[in-house]
């Protein structure tokens, strides 16, 4: 489980909005523990795949997650 701050660092994003755009594009729902917003292993794996797709020149709109 990773919090928002760790995800920003992991993907080298400057703004929370950039991360929220990715999260919303993937339809991810966080887990809340107290006042912390956390994302589980499956969500992080999907975000990793999206980050790789974007690094290769893809867009949020044309990302298709690989089949399991």
The predicted pLDDT at position 11 comes to: 98
- In a domain, residue 62? The reply is no
Domain coverage including residue 14: 2-55
How far is Cα 35 from Cα 45, in angstroms, rounded to an integer? 23
Residue 64 lies in a domain: no
The answer to whether position 65 is within a domain reads no
**pLDDT computed for residue 68 by the predictor:** 63
Residue 7 lies in a domain: yes
44-67, pLDDT tens digit by residue? 999 999 999 999 999 999 999 887
**56 vs 59: CA distance, rounded Å:** 9
Domain count, the chain: 1
For residue 60, which phi and psi values (nearest 5 degrees)? -60, -40
Which of 52, 51, 42, 46 has its CA nearest to residue 65?
46
Instruction: Give the three-state DSSP class for 60.
Output: coil
Predicted pLDDT at 38: 98
Which tens digit of pLDDT belongs to each residue from 6-38? Answer: 999 999 999 999 999 999 999 999 999 999 999
């Amino acid at each position: 489980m990773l919090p928002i701050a760790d995800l920003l660092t992991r993907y080298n994003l400057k703004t929370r909005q950039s991360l929220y755009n990715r999260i919303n594009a993937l339809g991810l729902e966080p887990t809340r523990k107290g006042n912390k917003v956390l994302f589980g292993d499956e969500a992080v794996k999907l975000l990793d795949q999206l980050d790789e797709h974007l690094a290769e020149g893809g867009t949020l709109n044309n990302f298709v997650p690989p089949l399991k």
